[in-house]
């Protein structure tokens, strides 16, 4: 494949074979790090990708080298046409995954099984119902927890995404690791990242170093086992000897993994983001609806990708980001 044909390779030689597609800006929870307290102005429905457009644009990316697709939101299972989208994507030669808060899993378990999904990421930031209510603004802990158990019973590989916030859930790090003792589950601790409306500041950040120090204070070095990194890893993974599951640390702020990044994001309204932290976006949907080729547009966007986090190299850069107009997390897609 020539450079001209390889439209998903950036100027640093990174090949982007992992596409995250947001299906909706709506959610049935109100997690404070994701949804601004005042809510978000939703994109009018006619400006969002319909199911046919999701599938056809996904096919185009697959034709150009995408081998993994993750469905995100908002809460992707809120889409009424999600069975159609899952069925269509399951026919593509890709690894298909989804990120969900699990509230609606029991309603969709059969279509998830039929769509050949093997791994499902579930956002769960606490193991305590009262804290769950605090961070999500909804009394849905039991529903989410029961549906995580359902996924395990049905043979799915479950990854729990835990956004750590200092003085909120950082005291639960060991509880989450102990949760992996008798369950084949992967817990991924995620550093708190800055997005529009989530009041980010570094005082709330639980860094990679702080987290690992807490782990080492509770587990001796002979039972704390580092696991090999995947080719395009986001999490640095570990397990406790003898435990059925594992845990990892996603340190986008203090210890990034940009040099092996293979991810691009398509928002629910058809905008391509070449980096999660980029304040610029590339409109694919408008050109697609005009019948124009979007491949040159995709290539131009990929070639504009910066080496590190859209040009942010330090914590100070992150603080400066709060003065720019990046989207809130819920309108980007997790």
For 178-194, the pLDDT digits (tens) are: 999 999 999 999 998 77
Q: Rounded to a whole number, what is the distance in angstroms from the first to the last CA of the chain?
A: 31
pTM: predicted TM-score of the whole model, two decimal places: 0.92
* Relative orientation angle of helices 82-90 and 105-114, to the nearest 10 degrees: 20
H/E segment holding residue 151: helix 141-153
Q: Tens of pLDDT along 46-100?
A: 999 999 999 999 999 999 999 999 999 999 999 999 999 999 999 999 999 999 9
Report the C-alpha gap between 116 and 167 in whole angstroms.
39
Within a 10 A sphere around the Cβ of 307, how many other Cβ atoms? 14
Q: Is the pLDDT of residue 273 over 90?
A: yes
235, pLDDT greater than 50: yes
Instruction: Say how many C-beta atoms besides its own lie within 10 A of residue 180's C-beta.
Output: 19
Mean pLDDT of 20-24: 97
Q: What are the Cα distances from residue 252, in Å, to 130, 206, 233, 304?
A: 28, 12, 11, 20
User: CA-to-CA distance for 224 and 216, rounded, in angstroms?
Assistant: 8
Q: Which residues pair with 190 in a beta bridge?
A: 163, 250
């Amino acid at each position: 494949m020539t450079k001209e044909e390889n439209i998903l390779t950036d100027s640093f030689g990174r090949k982007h074979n992992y596409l995250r597609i947001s299906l909706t800006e709506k959610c049935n929870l109100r997690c404070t790090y994701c949804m601004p307290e005042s809510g978000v102005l939703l994109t009018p429905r006619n400006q969002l990708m319909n199911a046919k457009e999701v599938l056809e644009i996904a096919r185009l990316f697959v034709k150009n080298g995408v081998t993994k697709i993750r469905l995100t939101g908002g809460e992707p299972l809120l889409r009424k046409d999600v069975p159609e989208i899952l069925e269509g994507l399951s026919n593509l030669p890709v690894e298909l995954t989804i990120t969900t808060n699990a509230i609606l899993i029991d309603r969709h378990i059969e279509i998830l099984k039929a769509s050949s999904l093997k791994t499902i990421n579930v956002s769960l930031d606490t193991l305590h119902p009262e804290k769950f209510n605090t961070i999500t603004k909804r009394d849905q802990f039991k529903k989410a927890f029961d549906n995580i158990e359902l996924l395990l019973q049905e043979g799915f590989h479950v990854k729990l995404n835990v956004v750590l916030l200092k003085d909120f859930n950082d005291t639960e790090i060991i509880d989450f690791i102990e949760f992996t003792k008798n369950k084949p589950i992967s817990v991924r601790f995620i550093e708190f990242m800055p997005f529009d409306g989530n009041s980010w500041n570094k005082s709330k950040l639980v860094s990679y170093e702080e987290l690992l120090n807490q782990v080492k204070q509770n587990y001796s070095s002979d039972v704390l086992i580092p696991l090999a990194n995947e080719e395009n890893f986001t999490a640095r993974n570990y397990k406790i000897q003898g435990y059925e599951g594992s845990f990892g640390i996603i340190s986008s702020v203090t210890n990034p993994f940009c040099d092996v990044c293979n991810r691009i994001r398509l928002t629910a309204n058809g905008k391509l983001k070449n980096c999660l932290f980029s304040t610029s976006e590339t409109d694919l949907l408008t050109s697609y609806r005009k019948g124009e080729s979007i491949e040159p547009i995709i290539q131009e966007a990929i070639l504009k990708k910066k080496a590190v986090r859209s040009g942010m190299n330090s914590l100070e850069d992150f603080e400066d980001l709060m003065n720019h107009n990046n989207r809130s997390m819920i309108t980007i897609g997790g």
